[in-house]
Amino acid sequence: MSFTHLDASGAARMVDVTAKEVTAREATAAGRVLVTPEVVALLRGEGVPKGDAIAVARIAGIAGAKRTPDLVPLCHPIALHGVTVDLQVTDEAVEITATARTADRTGVEMEALTSVAVAGLTVIDMVKAVDPRASITDVRLLAKSGGKKGDWVR
């Protein structure tokens, strides 16, 4: 097995997807932002000083998915047909799940992962005045479907 983003000499390249079939594709990623009990209480109650952290992070996650090829150099710019970002406040974290969908020649795994990462960074930005130790953990792909390789589930 070799890396598809390297040519024969080992130089980075964008994979040519011209000959691939256009298929419906979907990917779901997840991650979490570890926060203090004080932040959890604020998120479940009156909110953090900057405003509605969950709503802002949801919108940031969607925007992040849309900007993936600007942030990850070898990602193809694809038409996203749907992005959902769900954030759930637990007793020690904000759990983030993002799903990206398209009908295109290449997958949306990086868009789902970028969505989670940007939503997580936004949570940190919103809560850092209360919890400067907040941290993003466990950003990972959960599942993908479509394309030549078909379905994959963690």
> Can you say which residues are annotated as belonging to the binding site for substrate?
74-76, 110-111
Q: Would residue 86 show up in a list of annotated catalytic residues for this protein? A: no
Please count the CA atoms within 13 angstroms of the CA of 92 that sit on its side-chain side.
1
Q: Which two tokens stand for residue 118?
A: 């940007």
Encode burial over 3-23: b for 16+ CB neighbours within 10 A, e otherwise: eeeeeeeeeeeeeeeeeeeeb
Q: Catalytic residue among 70, 125, 131, 151, which?
A: 125
Burial of 36 (0-12, 13-18, 19+ CB in 10 A): middle
Helix axes 109-127, 37-44, angle to 10 degrees: 100
- Residues across the chain: 154
Nearest to 139 by CA among 27, 20, 3: 27
Among all residues, which ones are annotated catalytic? 125
